[in-house]
């Protein structure tokens, strides 16, 4: 049973799997594997959930091949778990009911860039770094940045976001259209390339964030943005968390169009200093980024400096020098590694919630209290413009069982707190199996409506079963 | 049968309606009416579709009352057609299968403004002007502006947008959460107030734009924005439509963050000049608006001036004077009346499509050719940043039948053209009954997935039947 007890593991009969594998081998040859290392590799994500390998792994290279796999599985009631890069964060890849892991990482072609329309269509295995590399000469870029070099299909499926969602939105706002293979092997396109539409139900948004439980994403059309003419960054430390968050609230109301507003707590700053050999004050700190024209980013930075001063922010320093900027964001991106370095040998149990920004300070402070009382080290990093924050709970190998128990409890309290504040159990990590037990508390009767949709679109419950919605 | 032949009209038995009305009278007293003028008033929208009144009209004042109506109707298999302000544009209000018109216009309280979180929760009958009046002292505003002073519930239900969607998004991006009464009378909340979430299926987006066919919206939580510190406007005329659109494409790629980019064709400019006693060149013209800081809007306007010059735009003139600005946008908002004044006595058959912006010029020019060949007067106004444009086909009372026939044909060709260009049959008017026949061509197999969802969530087909999705 997985760590959170969400689902008992069951598997199709061995003979069913054997028959299925034999059928698929005709098309896939050595692109289907039942070797344990392959199966284990494909069950691993960035989470703490138990490794539950699928019965076989198949590498698809086209929509037609995905259809073939889905139909072969549907015929036998065998589950299908889609795989992109294995960077999901809530045990999304565990084969809780056995079945086939469908690896789409080789479906990694950029299919069409429409520069005038500022959109691109990609196969699901294209990663975000690969995409931006591809786009480099077009003057356009794709902003969503969840940290890991995740696949676009996986990012769409988990409704990923990241540091610049406050300016550019999340995958929810930036997926224009999807091609999806449904549970019975039909190929649908959820929308056309028009920027807006009032035609039909918004299937795009229904499939974005559905974690492979309604169908397999085989193409993604994304919005792109012009690379800003100028970028400047700033760092500012505050005496209190409240000062930092209040400065952000004020700046957003003032309409300062910041591209990144990252909050790092004192513990995280301490970790960064040690890991990256820096000497920032060990205080709640905002890392900021401004996009615009030369004059615009200067004005934004200056205004934000004034706002921060009003709320107790000291040492506001900004730069538009690319090298300095890269150094700053490299430090921010190293936050996870820096955490681990705080207590070498530890693993990180990562969790996230999102609350209305007016409740953010209270939510973080109460959580820090829980963490301190439990004697755990757990830095906090927040996408504060969205009210979203991450807690990286450190688990030491010597005290793993005890640490796990304590951290699961802290996570539980955190989620309950976020929900009580009219927030959500996850801002960007997704539900997977880890947050599934909180969905009733968060959604109430609406969860039954979600279940009705799941049953209608996947009546056999073969699409990543045991994740998101229990049937 | 309605003008477009979309659906045969059927009604519940008179005795069923009588029984239902009697039951509801116990709660609603004189807030339920079967008087023909009341029923006709509630069947009328801004479209050319035949007036098909419901069997009775009931005014609800609370979610509980909506639940009561829905349960009473569900018990008897009687359809329910929700009504906000009657400003929909594709025959959304016609009682094609009879039933009850559920008027929520008296559910018009602003329930909660969260200034720090920049959101507001309203009842569905609140209109957009009423909301902005209410917000006036908060420094915040709600930007979506579909022209008519529509209800927020109706705007959510039709996925409305308008002139500033290019900057602020449509109802799709700006509804944070909904309270919905389902077809069996359950009350659900589609999401919490957090700005982002990866928890569960995105029911909010599923209900936004579903035109009352999946449930009745009883509360809407919206994103708000800070009122910009400075606003400037500009007008610029071009020798060619292509020049105007290319200037817009270039400016968006350059990242000039315009708040409004409205294209008016020569016919529309002629109409405006005559109606509002102005003397603009009778040429394709852009009306622009910039939001930001004083320095920011100046910079944006100057840059846009340069871009326009490059693409053949002459007479670029901009102003941040509020009075001049209001005059300009009043003229734009009078576009519909100005159309009618072109040929007094005419009515306007309004339609809209949306295409990838790279196809916009071609789509408009081919449509203008159809219009000229048919000898119809039909000004064109476009939200060009989105690729969305409106055609106002003038129908003269003396030649109504012939005009209608010709205009329906032009509309049909327009929609087919838009779909062939990877666009949509409606960018913001909605499907209602008018565009229903194009959904198969636009969505293909995805339409069947939409139908599966409709059947799952409204198995009796009592929620605004005959609109959006045929069962």
What is the distance between the alpha carbons of residues A115 and B454, in angstroms, rounded to a whole number?
36
Residues A195, A236 share a domain: no
Q: What is the pLDDT of residue A182?
A: 98
Residues B319, B350 share a domain: no
CA distance A102 to chain B (A): 22
- Measured from the Cβ of residue B446, the count of other Cβ atoms closer than 10 Å reads 26
Secondary structure class of A277 (helix, strand, coil): coil
Q: What is the pLDDT of residue B2?
A: 42
CB contact under 8 A, B200 and A431: yes
Residues of B in contact with A140 (CB under 8 A): 253
Q: Which of residues 164-203 of A touch B (CB under 8 A)?
A: 165, 169-170, 172-173, 182, 186-203
In a domain, residue A254? The reply is yes
CA distance B19 to chain A (A): 30
* Interface residue B439 vs chain A (CB under 8 A): yes
What is the distance between the alpha carbons of residues B425 and B341, in angstroms, rounded to a whole number?
27
In a domain, residue B2? The reply is no
pLDDT surpassing 70 at residue B3: no
* Interface residue B228 vs chain A (CB under 8 A): yes
Q: Are A104 and A153 in contact (CB under 8 A)?
A: yes
Structure-token match 């698809």, residue found: A60
In a domain, residue B428? The reply is no
Domain hosting residue B319, numbered range: 230-336
CA distance A277 to chain B (A): 34
Q: Phi and psi (nearest 5°) for A206?
A: -70, -40
Residues B215, B115 share a domain: yes
In a domain, residue B394? The reply is yes
CB contact under 8 A, A203 and B388: no
Percent of chain B clearing pLDDT 90 (strictly above): 88
Mean pLDDT of A160-184: 96
Residues of A in contact with B174 (CB under 8 A): none
pLDDT surpassing 80 at residue B384: yes
**Average pLDDT value over all residues in chain B:** 95
Structure-token match 């000497």, residue found: A279
The sign of the torsion formed by the CA atoms of B400, B402, B406, B408 equals positive
Residues of A in contact with B252 (CB under 8 A): 118, 226
CB contact under 8 A, B388 and A140: no
Mean pLDDT of A245-264: 94
In a domain, residue B328? The reply is yes
ipTM reported for the complex surpasses 0.90: yes
Using 50, 70 and 90 to split pLDDT, how confident is the model at B210?
Answer: very high
CB contact under 8 A, A253 and B140: yes
In a domain, residue A101? The reply is no
Q: What is the pLDDT of residue A4?
A: 45
Residues A283, A268 share a domain: yes
Angle between helix A266-276 and helix A322-333 axes, rounded to 10 deg: 110
Q: What is the pLDDT of residue A40?
A: 97
Q: How far is CA B62 from the centre of its chain?
A: 25
Q: How many domains does chain B have?
A: 3
Tens digit of each residue's pLDDT (9 = 90 or more) over A96-134: 999 999 999 999 999 999 999 999 999 999 999 999 999
What DSSP character marks residue A163? Answer: T
Q: What is the pLDDT of residue B6?
A: 46
The sign of the torsion formed by the CA atoms of A32, A33, A39, A41 equals negative
Which CATH number is A368's domain given? 3.30.70.2740
Nearest to A425 among B199, B426, B444 (CB): B199
CB contact under 8 A, A387 and B194: yes
Q: How far is CA A200 from the centre of its chain?
A: 28
* Residues paired with B83 in a beta bridge: B103
* Interface residue A63 vs chain B (CB under 8 A): no
pLDDT surpassing 80 at residue A271: yes
Q: What is the pLDDT of residue B8?
A: 58
pLDDT surpassing 60 at residue A262: yes
Instruction: Give me the count of residues in chain B.
Output: 471
Residues A348, A332 share a domain: no
Which CATH number is B279's domain given? 3.30.70.2190
Q: What is the pLDDT of residue A7?
A: 53
Of the residues A226, A253, A275, the one at which a domain ends: A226
Residues A363, A273 share a domain: no
Residues B282, B245 share a domain: yes
Using 50, 70 and 90 to split pLDDT, how confident is the model at B4?
Answer: very low
Using 50, 70 and 90 to split pLDDT, how confident is the model at A336?
Answer: confident
Q: For the whole model, what pTM was predicted? A: 0.97
CB contact under 8 A, B449 and A193: no
CB contact under 8 A, A387 and B165: no
The sign of the torsion formed by the CA atoms of A236, A239, A241, A242 equals negative
CA distance A374 to chain B (A): 27
* Interface residue B448 vs chain A (CB under 8 A): yes
Rg (CA), chain A: 22
Q: Are B379 and B339 in contact (CB under 8 A)?
A: yes
In a domain, residue A383? The reply is yes
Residues A237, A214 share a domain: no
CB contact under 8 A, B201 and A206: yes
Q: What is the pLDDT of residue A6?
A: 46
What is the distance between the alpha carbons of residues B155 and B158, in angstroms, rounded to a whole number?
5
Q: Are A253 and B113 in contact (CB under 8 A)?
A: no
Percent of chain A clearing pLDDT 90 (strictly above): 88
Residues A126, A217 share a domain: yes
What is the distance between the alpha carbons of residues A79 and A10, in angstroms, rounded to a whole number?
11
CB contact under 8 A, B419 and A192: yes
Q: Which of residues 337-376 of A touch B (CB under 8 A)?
A: 354-358
Residues of A in contact with B171 (CB under 8 A): none
Mean pLDDT of A31-37: 98
Using 50, 70 and 90 to split pLDDT, how confident is the model at A428?
Answer: very high
Secondary structure class of A440 (helix, strand, coil): helix
Tens digit of each residue's pLDDT (9 = 90 or more) over A173-188: 999 999 999 999 999 9
Nearest to B197 among A187, A426, A450 (CB): A426
Mean pLDDT of A1-23: 77
Tens digit of each residue's pLDDT (9 = 90 or more) over B180-192: 999 999 999 999 9
Tens digit of each residue's pLDDT (9 = 90 or more) over B419-459: 999 999 999 999 999 999 999 999 999 999 999 999 999 99
Q: At B378, list the tokens.
A: 């039909």
Could you tell me which of A4, A34, A27, A1 has the C-alpha nearest to residue A411? A4
Q: Are B340 and B346 in contact (CB under 8 A)?
A: yes
CA distance B399 to chain A (A): 31
Helix (H) or strand (E) holding A182: strand A175-182
Of the residues A420, A445, A462, the one at which a domain ends: A420
Residues of B in contact with A438 (CB under 8 A): 199
More confident residue, A119 or A339: A119
Alpha carbon separation from B270 to B147, B315, B384 (Å, rounded): 20, 17, 19
A302 CB-near residues (< 8 Å, 6+ apart): none
Tens digit of each residue's pLDDT (9 = 90 or more) over A429-467: 999 999 999 999 999 999 999 999 999 999 999 999 999
pLDDT surpassing 70 at residue A392: yes
Q: What is the pLDDT of residue A313?
A: 94
Mean pLDDT of B276-302: 94
List the single residue in B with minimal CA-CA distance to A203: B206
CA distance A181 to chain B (A): 11
Cβ-Cβ pairs closer than 8 A, A with B, add up to: 301
Residues of B in contact with A469 (CB under 8 A): 200-201
List the single residue in B with minimal CA-CA distance to A356: B194
More confident residue, B470 or B180: B180
Nearest to A195 among B198, B386, B469 (CB): B386
Beta strands in A191-336 (DSSP E): 215-223, 225-226, 230-238, 258-264, 285-292, 313-319
CB contact under 8 A, A200 and B439: yes
Could you tell me which of A263, A409, A416 has the C-alpha nearest to residue A353? A416
List the single residue in B with minimal CA-CA distance to A119: B356
CB contact under 8 A, B198 and A448: no
Residues A130, A176 share a domain: yes
Of the residues A169, A204, A226, the one at which a domain ends: A226
Q: Are B281 and B254 in contact (CB under 8 A)?
A: no
CB contact under 8 A, A192 and B387: no
Residues B383, B291 share a domain: no
Q: What is the pLDDT of residue A451?
A: 98
Tens digit of each residue's pLDDT (9 = 90 or more) over B256-269: 999 999 999 999 99
* Interface residue A459 vs chain B (CB under 8 A): no
* Interface residue B459 vs chain A (CB under 8 A): no
CB contact under 8 A, A160 and B425: no
Q: Phi and psi (nearest 5°) for B112?
A: -160, 125
Using 50, 70 and 90 to split pLDDT, how confident is the model at B7?
Answer: low
Which CATH number is A189's domain given? 3.30.465.10
* Interface residue B465 vs chain A (CB under 8 A): no
Say how many Å lie between the first and final Cα of chain A, rounded. 17
Percent of chain B clearing pLDDT 70 (strictly above): 98
**Average pLDDT value over all residues in chain A:** 95
Tens digit of each residue's pLDDT (9 = 90 or more) over B303-361: 999 999 999 998 788 888 989 888 888 888 888 889 888 888 999 999 999 999 999 99
In a domain, residue B452? The reply is no
CA distance B338 to chain A (A): 26
Of the residues B90, B135, B140, B201, the best mutation for testing chain A's interface (the one with the most A CB atoms within 10 Å of its CB) is B201
Residues B157, B259 share a domain: no
* Interface residue A115 vs chain B (CB under 8 A): yes
What angle (nearest 5°) sits at the alpha carbon of residue A291, between those of residues A173 and A192? 25
């Amino acid at each position: 049973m997985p760590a959170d007890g969400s689902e008992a593991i069951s598997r199709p009969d061995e003979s069913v799997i054997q028959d299925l594998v034999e059928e698929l081998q005709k098309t896939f040859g050595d692109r289907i594997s039942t070797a344990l290392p392959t199966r284990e590799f494909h069950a691993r994500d960035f989470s703490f959930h138990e490794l539950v390998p699928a019965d076989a792994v198949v590498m698809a290279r086209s929509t037609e091949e995905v259809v073939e796999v889905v139909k072969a599985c549907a015929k036998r009631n065998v589950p299908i778990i889609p795989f992109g890069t294995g960077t999901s964060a809530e045990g999304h890849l565990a084969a809780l009911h056995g079945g086939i892991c469908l690896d789409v990482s080789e479906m990694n072609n950029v299919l069409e860039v429409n520069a005038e329309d500022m959109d691109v269509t990609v196969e699901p295995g294209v990663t975000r770094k690969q995409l931006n590399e591809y786009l480099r000469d077009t003057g356009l870029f794709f902003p969503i940045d969840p940290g890991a070099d995740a696949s676009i299909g996986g990012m769409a499926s988990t409704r990923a976001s990241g540091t610049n969602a406050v300016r550019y939105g999340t995958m929810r706002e930036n997926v224009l259209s999807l091609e999806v293979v449904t549970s019975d092997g039909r190929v649908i396109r959820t929308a056309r390339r028009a920027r807006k539409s009032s035609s039909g139900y918004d299937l795009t948004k229904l499939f974005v964030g559905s974690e492979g439980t309604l169908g397999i994403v085989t193409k993604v059309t994304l919005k792109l943005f012009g690379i800003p003419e100028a970028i400047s960054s700033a760092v500012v430390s505050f005496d209190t968390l409240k000062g930092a968050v209040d400065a952000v609230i004020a700046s957003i109301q003032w309409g300062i169009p910041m591209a990144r507003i990252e909050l790092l707590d004192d513990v995280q700053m301490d970790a960064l200093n040690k890991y990256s050999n820096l000497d920032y004050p060990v205080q709640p700190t905002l890392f900021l980024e401004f996009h615009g024209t030369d004059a615009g980013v200067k004005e934004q930075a200056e205004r934000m400096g004034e706002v921060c001063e009003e709320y107790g922010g000291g040492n506001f320093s900004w730069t538009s020098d690319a090298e300095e900027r890269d150094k700053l964001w490299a430090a921010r991106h190293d936050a996870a590694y820096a955490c681990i370095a705080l207590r070498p040998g530890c693993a990180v149990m990562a969790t996230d919630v999102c609350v209305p920004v007016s409740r953010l300070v209270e939510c973080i402070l109460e959580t820090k209290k829980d963490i301190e009382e439990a004697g755990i080290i757990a830095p906090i990093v927040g996408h504060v413009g969205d009210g979203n924050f991450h807690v990286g709970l450190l688990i030491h190998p010597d005290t793993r069982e005890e640490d796990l128990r304590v951290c699961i409890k802290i996570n539980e309290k955190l989620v309950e707190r976020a929900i009580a504040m009219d927030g959500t159990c996850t801002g960007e990590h997704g539900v997977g199996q880890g947050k599934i037990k909180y969905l009733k508390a968060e959604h109430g009767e609406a969860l039954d409506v979600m279940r009705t949709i799941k049953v209608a679109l996947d009546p056999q419950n073969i699409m990543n079963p045991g994740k998101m919605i229990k049937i």
